[in-house]
Structure 1
Amino acid sequence: MKGVALLLMLALSACSSQTEQSAAELVLQPADFSIRVQAEGELEASTATPITMPAGISEPQVLAWMQEENVRVKAGDIVAKLDEKRFQREAEQERLKISQAELSLNSREFVLGGERRSIGAELDLVREELDFASRFAVEDLRVYSRIEIIDKLANVDYLQSRQAHQQWRNDRHDNKTEAELALLQLQQKQHQTRLQSVERSLGQMLIRAPHDGVLIHARDWGEPLRVGATLWPGRKIAVIPDMNKLQAKLHVLESEALGLAAGQSVTLRVDALPELSLRGTVTQVDKLAKPRQRNNPVKYFELMVQIEQAPVERLRPGMAVRADILVIEKNNVLTVPVQALSQQEGKHWVWRYDGEQFIQHAVDVGARSQSRVEIIGGAQAGDRILLLPPTGHNT
């Protein structure tokens, strides 16, 4: 009985070994081979009118209010408001400074006018005295004593010097008055110019739609603008898309983006319309991968897809979509699972049955997906290939 049991155990062991070996083999047969990449993204208009921060504002502003997204607007409608409190304060300050400058100018004009009149009066008095002294100057030296002659001549010289001094004071005061008043007028003009600039900025706090359409908020790292955001000059606030020309903006993980190129076919599904299937073509693929979120280092390639015959009456920019991108499609080619392939010294190898045993055999490879690799040389249909290298040959 023990001998019979031993024979049965050996037979079962042999069957089990044959089953494992059979399960670990693959017979190469031509088949269709395709590489598809999954992506996600959203619909957007291929052409749109941007609504940006007004060009006349040179400083960052705070968004105080914004019209809701996907709302139809007409040309001239207010779509956003900027916080105007700072400009209102500046306008009041400039008006006060203009009033102060005007008051200073009037006050200084009054003071300088009084000084000018005082100097002018002194100059007129000296001129009269000099005229009087000149008319009664010494004409006949025999009439006066020597002392009287000297006194009269000295008085004329003194009055002439005094007149010259008063004229110099008068001219100097005129120059001083002109300079001081010009400075005060310049300061007043500077405040007036600043007030005009502030009032122009106040007039640009209301941002209006350039034409009729549907309003779509601008995005920052995938998130729409919100009230309270700081907007820098030239910043895009929203867009009014051309609803008749829609495209899809897709994102593909950097690790899965191998082989993406313009011209590849895409099948799209809209999350909000699951029954709807769209077809399109890749028109553009970014050269560099980049993060989609500010605090997430995972990188994605961005690509644009032109949609064919889109039912624009049912679609809206911003709708989420999922996509299947056909990267490669081949018919009647040989492929093996990725794990059946090993690499040594720059060559690719498989374990192929030669009629007696499995031996390592070099092959040429072509396209590669995440699960299978195309064999373009070194093997043929009907070859038996091990799915995994033998134990100890896992290179």
Structure 2
Amino acid sequence: MQTKALLFISLAAILITACTEPPSQVPVYRVAKNTLIHKVSTEGELFAVNAVSISAPSTLQGPRFIATLAAEYSEVQAGDVVVTFDASQLQKAQVKASTGLAAVVADQQQKLAEQYNEQTALGLEQTLNSHEFSFADRFNIDDVQIRSRLEIIDSLQNKEYLGNKREYLDWQEHSFSQRSAGELELLQLQRGQQQSLLHQAQSGLEQLEVRSPHQGIILYETNWRGEKPEVGGMVFPGNRIGSIPDLNLQHVKLQVIEQEAVGLLAGQPVTFSLTAWPDETLSGSIVSVAPVAQSRERRDPRKYIEVVVAPTVQDPRFLPGNKIRAEILVNSIPDALLVPLQAIFSEQQQLYVYKREHSRFVKQAIQIGQKSLSHAQVLTGLQTGEEIALLNPESTI
């Protein structure tokens, strides 16, 4: 009997404990005040603010392939050759244009000779017709006492035929003049076309070398895939190949993931270090934040916001292209009531948390202010010391 009483008391105690304590598998967080620090870690590189661009000549016709390329970061003097393009395509175009021009010139000479022969033959035939007509008109006798009627009729028909033949020869001469002018004009147009192609090829051959405009170091431009010019690579007319920078003024170009770039503004402080000297921390501030996110690599689905930072001091070790690791201080709010972002839920545009009340969790509507990557500032709905669930307790039952 005593054993049953003890068993009953034990069961009652277990039931009371289960009713007064929430499920032990739900982790909780005690709300407290602390400093909200929102920092964004990212990477980037140095670049020169002022630089003279080096581009492929815009007068080149069609894409060109790089034959030689000066080493990046090498020092160049004014007039030094930086890039040379392959000449094989232009040489082929030059030979083709020269051959075409020679063929057109030969056609012109042949056509002139043919026209001269045809005009000479037509002129001789007109002269002969003129003599025959003059002879027929001079010795035309229409006296029936001297010649028979049939002879007179035959003579008149011969004279009429010669007159018609003269008119035909005159028309033929006029037609010949028009046809000859058209043929020569067509050949002249073809000759001009071939001369233009030859001039383009010769001009392109003269512009196959890109030279440095002044002294400095050469830096090459990356394309949208992050690739730099290389021997054998294709370059279109006017494309920027590289630059010769002014090393006295350099800024930092950072790439921040779009989802982490919320709240970035000009003037925010930045600390950074060169990857070659990771133990030395330098400082700066944001100069500009790009309004639109862009892809950085073809196989990277993420988009990045470009952030430009002006260093506080221009370090002599700065060199365009040097890699940078940076940390941006987006916000710092002291004495803020903080809760983890994972503990905040939303329903119908209303934010809420699961607040612990005795043996259960209840939904508590809240309003938040600033956020970091892990915490949010609570403006209303919670007080210091209250406990909230880090997970949805309804999903753990």
TM surpasses 0.5:
yes
**Number of residues paired by the alignment?**
372
Asked if residue 54 in structure 1 is aligned to residue 54 in structure 2, the reply is no
Asked if residue 77 in structure 1 is aligned to residue 80 in structure 2, the reply is yes
Distance 1:263 1:370 in 2: 20
User: Retained in 2: the 8 A contact 1:80–1:207?
Assistant: yes
Distance 1:318 1:163 in 2: 87
| Cα deviation, residue 114, structure 1 | 1.4
Q: Give per-residue Cα distances to partners, 1:11-69, cap 9 Å, x unaligned.
A: xxx9xx9xx9xx9674734x433111101011112233322232223422222222111
Matched to 2:226, the amino acid is: G
- Aligned equivalent of 1:123: 126
Selected match of 2:297 from 287, 293, 297: 293
Q: Return closer, same or farther for 1:393/1:344 CA change in 2, 3 Å cut-off.
A: farther
| Cα deviation, residue 328, structure 1 | 0.3
- Aligned equivalent of 2:209: 206
Selected match of 2:378 from 366, 375, 383: 375
- Aligned equivalent of 1:7: none
Matched to 1:384, the amino acid is: G
Selected match of 2:268 from 248, 264, 267: 264
Distance 2:178 2:160 in 1: 27
Distance 2:165 2:28 in 1: 127
Selected match of 2:243 from 233, 239, 245: 239
Distance 1:289 1:213 in 2: 33
User: Retained in 2: the 8 A contact 1:260–1:327?
Assistant: yes
Selected match of 1:303 from 304, 307, 312: 307
Distance 1:153 1:389 in 2: 128
Selected match of 2:338 from 312, 335, 338: 335
User: Retained in 1: the 8 A contact 2:29–2:390?
Assistant: no
Distance 2:45 2:128 in 1: 93
Distance 1:89 1:73 in 2: 32
Asked if residue 110 in structure 1 is aligned to residue 117 in structure 2, the reply is no
Q: Return closer, same or farther for 1:254/1:86 CA change in 2, 3 Å cut-off.
A: same
- Aligned equivalent of 1:325: 328
Distance 2:284 2:310 in 1: 5
Q: Secondary structure at the match of 1:384?
A: coil
Matched to 1:318, the amino acid is: G
User: Retained in 1: the 8 A contact 2:69–2:231?
Assistant: yes
**Structure 2 residue runs without a partner (length 5+):** 1-16
Q: Give per-residue Cα distances to partners, 1:107-143, cap 9 Å, x unaligned.
A: 22222211221121121122123233334444x8487
Q: Return closer, same or farther for 1:341/1:394 CA change in 2, 3 Å cut-off.
A: farther
The residue correspondences of 1:162-181 to structure 2 (distance < 5 A) are 162-181=165-184
Q: Return closer, same or farther for 1:131/1:247 CA change in 2, 3 Å cut-off.
A: same
**Structure 1 residue runs without a partner (length 5+):** 1-13
Q: If the length of structure 2 is used for normalisation, what is the TM-score?
A: 0.81
Q: Give per-residue Cα distances to partners, 1:71-99, cap 9 Å, x unaligned.
A: 23234332112222111111101111111
RMSD, matched Cα: 3.4
Q: Give per-residue Cα distances to partners, 1:291-321, cap 9 Å, x unaligned.
A: 321122233322222222222x321110000
User: Retained in 2: the 8 A contact 1:339–1:387?
Assistant: no
Q: If the length of structure 1 is used for normalisation, what is the TM-score?
A: 0.81
Q: Return closer, same or farther for 1:244/1:135 CA change in 2, 3 Å cut-off.
A: same
Q: Return closer, same or farther for 1:107/1:173 CA change in 2, 3 Å cut-off.
A: same
Q: Return closer, same or farther for 1:342/1:130 CA change in 2, 3 Å cut-off.
A: closer
Q: Return closer, same or farther for 1:102/1:144 CA change in 2, 3 Å cut-off.
A: same
Q: Return closer, same or farther for 1:350/1:149 CA change in 2, 3 Å cut-off.
A: closer
| Cα deviation, residue 186, structure 1 | 2.1
Q: Secondary structure at the match of 1:243?
A: coil
Q: Give per-residue Cα distances to partners, 1:174-231, cap 9 Å, x unaligned.
A: 3332222222222222211111122222223222233333211110222322222222
Matched to 2:386, the amino acid is: I
Distance 1:362 1:133 in 2: 127
The residue correspondences of 1:342-353 to structure 2 (distance < 5 A) are 346-349=350-353, 351=355
| Cα deviation, residue 350, structure 1 | 6.1
Matched to 1:54, the amino acid is: P
| Cα deviation, residue 232, structure 1 | 2.7
Matched to 1:99, the amino acid is: A
Q: Give per-residue Cα distances to partners, 1:207-264, cap 9 Å, x unaligned.
A: 2233333211110222322222222333221122232221111112334333222321
The residue correspondences of 1:263-282 to structure 2 (distance < 5 A) are 263-282=267-286
Identity of aligned residues (%): 31
User: Retained in 1: the 8 A contact 2:353–2:388?
Assistant: no
Asked if residue 187 in structure 1 is aligned to residue 153 in structure 2, the reply is no
| Cα deviation, residue 280, structure 1 | 2.0
Matched to 2:201, the amino acid is: V
- Aligned equivalent of 1:10: none
User: Retained in 2: the 8 A contact 1:47–1:241?
Assistant: yes
Distance 1:329 1:375 in 2: 15
Matched to 2:134, the amino acid is: D
User: Retained in 2: the 8 A contact 1:74–1:209?
Assistant: yes
- Aligned equivalent of 1:3: none
